Structures are given as C-alpha cells and as structure tokens.
Structure 1
Amino acid sequence: MATLSLNLYSPSIGHKCLFPKSHNSPSNFRISCSSSFLQNKKQFKKDYTSVMIVPTGVGAAIGGYAGDALPVARALSSVVDCLISHPNVLNAAMLYWPMPNALYVEGYALDRFAEGLWALQPVHQNRVGLVFDAGIEEELLIRHLQVVDATRASLGLPIVGYTVTDTPLLVEKWVDPTSGQSTGRIQRPDSLLRAVENLQKGSKVNAVAVVARFPDDDTADLDDYRQGKGIDLLAGVEAVISHLVVKNFQIPCAHAPAVLPPQLDTSLCPKSAAEEIGYTFLPCVLAGLSSAPQYLVKGNNFSKEDCIVAGDVDSVIVPINACGGDGALAFANRKRNKPLIIAVEENQTVLNDTPDSLGIEAVKVSNYWEAIGVIAAHKAGIDPNSLRSNRIKNIAPISFVPSNGFAISSAKSFV
C-alpha cells in the first residue's frame, strides 16, 4: 500500500530523500505520494528459502498418496520466498498447481543439493523430452501422446519430442521387508539410458519425463491404496528410475507410470482420487519439468550469484519419523548456515527415523498448521518459542574450556 511522504529533490545534491510533511519545507522540494521505499525493502533482508521433504513410498499419512501433500506446499509457498520440494510432494497425476516461487527438484538431485555437491539454477523454461517404455501397449501409448499434445496446445508447455526404448524396461516392484517401504528395479536400465542419450543428442532436451509400463497391482494392495491406507507400491521404483537418469545425466527428470485404468470404485478415498480421473499420470510431470531448475555440479565453475546452494536454505520440513534420508541428514549436520529442522508429528510413515533416534536438533510440531506458523516466525526473525506460553526461560551463561582445562563462565547468571 502506498503511503504519503515527501519526495524531496535537492538540485544541489541531486538525489531523493524522505522527509516528514511540514509547512516549513523548503520551496524547492516537492510533495508526492510514493511507495518506492517500501517496494525496495527486500534489499535489507535475504530471501527466505524452505525445503519440504516427504519421502516416496513410505506410507506417509500426508504425501503418501496422489498429491495429497500439495495443499501443504501451496500454503508454504505463500509464506516463504522460495520453496524447494520434489515430485512426490508436487505431483498429483492429472492435477497440479503452478507456484512461481516453487522449485521442482528430483529426489536424487535434492540429496546432492543438500550435501552441497550440486546447486540449483532457476530457468524460464526447459526443452522437455519423453522416453516411453517399449512395453507399453499401442492404445495406452496413444493415450499418453494425446495428453502430451493437450499440454502443448492448452498449456503451451515446451515439449519437443519423444522416443521409445529399444527393448521393454521390465519393471519389478516389491516392499522392502526390513524398512516396509516400496522399492523395485528395471531389468533393462541400459535401454533407458540409451534412450535418454539419443533424446539428448537428437532434440537437445535438458529435462526428461520417463513413462514405464508397470505391472498391474494385486487387487488387495490396490484396494488398500484406493482407500487411503498402506503404501504406494509404485512410488519406490519410480524413484529408482528417476534417480538413475539424474545420476547419469545431471538433468531434471520425473516418472509417470503407465498402467491400465482400474475398475470404478464408488467409495474412493479423496487422497487417491487424482489418479482415477484420466488415462495417465503425465500432466503434473510435464508441468513440473517445464520449469524445473537445472542442476549445476560443484567444480563446474558455477557462480553462487546466479544459483541456489544448500547454504541458502533457512528451514527444512520433514515427517517426524522420516528424518534419516540423505538430504535431511545433510541439512541437519551442516556446520555453517544450518537450517531450522521442523519435524511434523501428524505425518507418520512406516519408518522409525526420528530426530531423537538420530541425534538431530529439531523443532517438533503437531501438524503442518504449526509448521507454517513456526516458519512465519522464523522468517520474521522471531524465536518461535516466544509465541508459546512459558517457553522462554531465564537466559543461561555460556561456559567454555580454555587450554588449562578449567571451565569458565562467560557471563554472570541472574537466575
């Protein structure tokens, strides 16, 4: 909102200044209504960056289904200056939501970013290509190609071409008996890597969507997922596929499974419904990849001025018992510019990697409502504990041990 102020111009010194309104103002100064000072206030404070992580295939109560963590990401993006998250959070099959200040970062790349090995370079748009599994039936392939054309015509997405693998990828999926999370493999990773390489050479793409033919789910397992229970059996091996591409080519990648439409279910859980309203899961992947940041590998002469690095992250939000991933641990163990770690108790998973079990210093919150409040306070430069009853205690002295081995207090205690 503009505020009334004096916009003063002095011919002798040649610059503008702000002056309270007064009848005694010099005659060579003129009054105007200006908000330029307020508009430039960001120059006094760095942008606030948050990372939101919900691991894939671990049965997360929020984010373990068809884009059901996307509302959280939307709310977070309205509070922070920059939100960094990954496809499991931002994808919702046929649905997606554009957030100008959100960066769509594949999970393997997010881990390397957290470790300080890679940086993120925001872009206006990418040249996106697609790799289709040769095992996809003709009719199902046509359905996917129609979705691609629809996103090009109706959304203007920069999709430049596609290729088909030279042999079926042969996807296998299972549940890890130790961790309880979904995982899997493709029997022909070489075929996928050749297809991506040919696509890069032929169409100069710098982002890739992969569509692999997945085996049809067991009826009982599918019914649980459709009712908002259990884990996503497809998600684990989807991560394996995208990790493989990103590790080898260092470009944005995301995966959309090709499956036959299931039978109509009249009691579908809303958390799983986004996957039931079309023939493919591809629209959200193409929308995300179209403006995903490029990955810059440390040592390749990237400049911090034109990219985002791990030290820019101010806070990281994770489920309470899913803090053991490479990215979360890397952020938690930073020696400099350590971000605030926020663990959400309501978002339970099949894992047991809590902050306490891993020795991680974290702010524990009951739900994402509280997490957003903590981030708003943190961004404002306020200790979040000062917003709670009786959370601020008397300040304590800080002791240090000099070379003689005797502890010395650096301040007197007034407790």
Structure 2
Amino acid sequence: MTRTLEPTRAASGGLALTAISAGYFLVILDTTIVAIALDRMAVGLHTTVAGLEWVVDGYTVTLAALLMAGGGLADRFGARRSFQVGLAFFGVASLACAAAPTVAVLVAARILQGIGAALLIPASLALIRHTYPDPKDRARATGIWGAIGSTAASCGPVLGGVLSENIGWPAIFAVNVPICALAAVLLNRTVPPVLGAAQPIPVFGQAAAALAVAGVTATAILAGARPVPPGPLTVAVVAAVAGLLLGVHAARSGKGLLPNSLRRSHAFVGSSLIGFAQNFGFYGQLFVISLFFQRSLHYSPTTAGLALLPEMAIGIVGSALGGRMTARYGPRRVILIGMSTGAAGLFGLGCVGPHTPYPVIAIALLLTGFGMALTMPAATSLTVSAAGPAHTGLAAAAFNAARQFGSALGVAVLASLMTLTTGLALPLATAALVYLTAAICSRRIP
C-alpha cells in the first residue's frame, strides 16, 4: 500500500507546487514583461513617458503598499482562499489591461493587478509551508519556487518583445488569463483548504503606509512631467507628507505595521534599505534602457528583449553564487561586492550613446544584473536573521514591500530625469550613486 501511495503523493505535491508557483511566476513576469512593450503602448494609447510611468507604477506601488496587508489576510482567512482571490483579481485585471482603450483605464486595471499580486506572494509562501510539512521537502519546494521567479524575470523581456511586436502590446497581459485559470483548477484539486486565524490587521498603519508610498511616487512622476501640473503635484506632496506623519503616529501609538523590535533593529532596517536600493536602480534602469533601445537605437521590441537577455540571465548565476558566498563570508561582504559591481555596471550604462557597440553595452548589462542578483540572497539572509523566528514572515513581507517601493520610485525618478535631459547619463549616474551609497552603508550593518 505504501508503494502505491507514495507516487500519488509525489504527483499531487508536484501539481500543487505547479499551481502555487504559477501565481508567483505571473507576479514576477509582470515586473519585466511590460518594460519592452512600453514604446508600443505609447504609440497605441497616444501617451507620454509620464503616462508610461503610471502604467508601470500603478502595479508596483499597489503591490508595495498592500503586500503586508496581503500577508495578514492570508493568515486571517486562510492561504488557499487568499491565493484564489488573488488569482481572480490578477486574471480579471489582466483581461481589463488587454482591452484598455486609454492609458487611464490601463492604469486602473494595473492597480487591480497589483492587488492580486499583493495577495498571491504571501499566500504562495504560506501554501508551500502547509503543503510541505517536512523541512527538507519544504526547502526543495522553496528553492524551485524561487528559481521559477528568476526564470520569469529572465524571460519577461524576450517574451514581451515577441508578443508586442508580432501580436500587439495587449498580448503581454492576455497571456496571463489562461495561466490564472489553469493555476486555479490545479489549486482546487491538489491543495486542501487552510484554516485561518483571528489575527488583527493594523488598518491604520496600513493606510498610512499606502498613502505615503503613493504620495512619494506620484510626486516623483509629476515633478518630471512637462508641463508640471501644479494642482496634482500639490495633492501628491500633501499625501506623501500626511502618510509619513500618520505612519510615525501609528508606530508611536502601537498601531504600526512593524513591532518595535524590528523597527529598532539596525540589521533589519539596513537590509530593507539595501532591498530598496537594489530595486530602485535595477528596475529604474530597465525602464529607461528599454525605451533607449527602441527610440535611440531603433531596435524592434524583440531585438530589445534579446539585448536585455544578458542582464536577466546572469541573475540566475549571481543569485546562486550569492547564496554560497553569504554562507561562507556572511552577508555584509557580499552586499558590498554586489552593490559595488552593480554601480560599476550602471555607470557604464550611463556612458552608452547611439554609436556604442552592443558588446560594450552587454558588459555593462552583465555587471548590473550580476551585482543586483549577487546581493539579493545576502540581503534576504540578513532580514531573516535580524527578525528571529517570532517575526520572520512579517519581516520578509516588509523587506519585499521595501523592494517594490524601490522599484516604483526608481521608475518614477529615473524616467523623470531621462525626460529632463533626454539621455542616459543623469538617470543612470543617479542609480549608480544610490548603489554606491548602499554599498558604503552596508559596512555599518552589524
């Protein structure tokens, strides 16, 4: 009987992991697949660079603002239910994105996508823990889950280029719908319901964080628009200040998102700032480089996606090496090396012009992608170590929220700088300085 049941359990576990990983695959794919289709969106929707920034940041700001709330909802109502709702949101929103007639409708649909993503990420990790109770099996499943995320990030630009060039930019969103449907069917058949717990959700702190993240990002986007809209810019600044003040008040009154032990931990705060800086530079440069390839070098979307492949593919190698180096040398040294390498790559990209040979561009892309990926395992390890067993899940959610906020602000700031100067030097030098600052500050992390 045992010999008969074991293959069945293994097959069921494999299908369950496929369903869980599919949701995470979509969330990560969406952070890179959109970049290559931006130029085609600008033409099809008659929008500016500022409009494209909203298309990207409507998703990432929502994800950053609601990621911790998504973790709380998964704990309270059950991970499977939360994952199912996240898939529904993501699938319906993707269909709305594909059918969007204007940039305003597209941004609204992207916000709904962000809500779905904020439910999917924490629920997927919780489902892995529930589905694989054995620590060794869970470790292998988590490794596969992470590798699938890296694969999604790597293939996003190429897939985005092929789809947007040969079918049209709506195809990059429409491709999500059947994957969501398949994942939902597999989930219902292979993963049993997970009971929730009566966990309180810090609504006041969550609202303050969302207001601050949205206000700061909107300020950066609107400040780079030409002409600058004074009314909306004023509203954005007021929202940012109000969110920050409310966040401070929530923390002091015990209604914040993080316990005092995490807020006062230099290691945790340092790792969160490293995660913020990583995504600020990486996703900000991805936005401007993809437009540069298509508008200045006149690459087709497919060619632009292939041109970015070295930066994405090296991330798989860098991430694996970063994990081994962190185990051997500790996170601080790895963060210093990774962020310095990434800064060198960003400075190199800032020197790229219309007549720069592609092999030279590829070297800078390799350095940027390798540095970012090398740092990630070290920063994650530092986060988990600083949190301790009592707050590991909460610390991981906060760390990922900081990363997503870095992505949103990086796109807003670097795209605005590119608009102001019509070149790569200022935006990518800014990103490189952020990396260098993070590298220097990492030396003070305990």
What TM-score does the superposition give when structure 2 sets the normalisation length? 0.22
Q: Relative contact order (C-alpha < 8 Å, sep 6+): which is higher?
A: 2
Name the structure with the higher strand share.
1
Name the structure with the higher helix share.
2
